[in-house]
Amino acid sequence: MIQPDHQFLITLAHTKMPYGKYEGRYLIDLPEYYVVWYHGKGFPKGKLGNMLQQVYELKINGLEYLVRDIKERFPR
């Protein structure tokens, strides 16, 4: 389920993938198939896994534009 915590969404909007094929890419900009693959494989433990799970929920519900909007409105 998507967390309504505003600070969490701001952090999510500015978090980049720390490793792998998409290292350095914002989590919200990861390809949908990659996030779906993680869903099937199992998300990593901890904060990154929680964020990837939220990205999965946003993408399958067509809501990733909300996080992209937050990234623009609250630059770091």
Residue 10: how many CB atoms within 10 A of its CB?
Answer: 16
Is the pLDDT at 72 greater than 70? The verdict is yes
pTM recorded for the entire structure: 0.88
More confident call, 74 vs 27: 27
- pLDDT tens per residue, range 9-62: 899 999 999 999 999 999 999 999 999 999 999 999 999 999 999 999 999 999
Q: Round to the nearest angstrom and report the end-to-end CA distance of the chain.
A: 26
> Does residue 1 form part of some domain?
no
> Does residue 37 form part of some domain?
yes
Is the pLDDT at 3 greater than 60? The verdict is no
Residues spanned by the domain of 46: 6-73
Structurally, the chain folds into a number of domains equal to: 1
Cα 44 from Cα 51, distance rounded (Å): 10
pLDDT of residue 74: 86
> Does residue 53 form part of some domain?
yes
More confident call, 5 vs 17: 17
> Does residue 65 form part of some domain?
yes
